[in-house]
Each structure stands twice: as structure tokens, then as C-alpha cells.
Amino acid sequence: MAGSLDDLPPRAALVEIARDFHARGWMAGTAGNLSAREDENHFWITASGWPKGRLDELDFLLVRVKDGEIVEHVRPENKPSAETAIHRTLYTLFPSARACLHGHMVEAVMAADRAKKGAKGLRLAPIEMLKGFDIWQQNPKVDLPLFENHLDVAKIAKAIGLRFRKSGPAVTALMVRSHGPTVWGASLQEAYNRFEILEFILRYQANSRR
């Protein structure tokens, strides 16, 4: 098999993704956060407030899935992002998720703006690229789950938990309006691939005249 992000230790892979996403403009300033499971019960997540193009492997916290406790700060000054709650919700709900990637893209925000006020999903264009989410249908009708943005991130995490406990999403991704997407996958490489794929689809939807 080809070279893969999964050949790297989780934090080394996340550092590489952070540089890549920053260079593409998907983690402007210190925006976004990336995580990967260390084992069934813990995940590494990027510390808050550092520029994502300059991370190293010490800029992470180890978080317990069960209760969100920080098991390891690595550097004493590392602080968790409020959005850690969203990652924890996803790892709790989806035992097969090994990595969660959250970034900010202008065109993702623009695509979500086209959904009606209050809509709980954004219909994804039935283009070939959607197969990257393992959607194998001729004219798929698949919605990207949409959530409202709140200043209090715990509210977003709670809304995600409530909705997904009732029924899981058709894709391993969600979008918070005026904010950005989070994509997860059964491996680091899958999460990375699907982040690229969602970006492609949303860029299309932001610009399409259809």
C-alpha cells in the first residue's frame, strides 16, 4: 500500500496535516483543531491558541473520551480548545472514528449560507466526488448535517450529541454554520481524504449556478 498518514505516530501525522491545511488557508491564524485516538479511551488534540502552521509534537493534550479529563498536558502551558467537547462527542458516538479534523474554509461557509434558515442539513450535490464518502448510488440524496453556531461551544457539542444519538449522519462529517466543517474517519488518512473531498464538494456548491 502507498505511503499513508497512518504510517506515522498520531501526533506526527496531525502536525503534518496542520501544516498542510494552514498552507491551503484552511487553518488561518490559530483556527481549527485536529485530533486522533491514542487508544480506545483517549485522544490527542491540538492545544489552543498556537499557530497551526508551526505546531510540533509537544503542542498536544491527551484527553479521556469518557469524561473529557486531560490526562496529559505534554507542555504545562498547553490549554485545551473549547471545541475539544465536539471531538469528544464524536469519539463517544462513533467508536470506529480514529481521527477528527476541524478547519475553516471561506467556501464552506458560503455553501452553508445557501441552506434555508433553520435547516438541519445541506443537500450535497450528487457529483462523482461524493463516492469518497462511500456513497454508491446513482443519484444520491445525501445531507451534510448542519448545526447553528453558538458562542458557548458546549451548546454545539450538546446539539451534535442529541441529534446523532437519534440517527447517525449519512456522511462522516458535519458543518457548523458561519464556522466550518468537522470530518472524521476510520483512520487518519481516511479523515484527511474526506476532508479534501468535502472541501471540493462545498467549493462546488458555493460557486455553482445550479
Q: Which of 8, 38, 42, 51 binds its own copies (CB under 8 A)?
A: 51
Binding test (CB under 8 A) with its own copies, winner from 50, 68, 70, 186: 50
19 binds its own copies (CB under 8 A): no
Residue 155, number of CB atoms within 10 A of its CB = 14
**Residue nearer to its own copies on the CB measure, 38 or 107:** 107
Instruction: Map the footprint of its own copies across residues 101-160, applying CB under 8 A.
Output: 104, 106-107, 109-110, 113-114, 125-129, 132, 136-138, 149-151
How far, CA to CA in Å, does 124 sit from each of 17, 24, 79?
25, 23, 35
Q: Please identify, using beta-carbon distances, which residue of 50 and 164 lies nearer to its own copies.
A: 50
Residues at the site binding its own copies, with contacts judged by CB under 8 A: 1-4, 25, 28-31, 47, 50-51, 54-56, 59, 75, 77, 104, 106-107, 109-110, 113-114, 125-129, 132, 136-138, 149-151, 176, 178-180, 189, 192-194, 196-197, 199-200, 203-204, 206-210
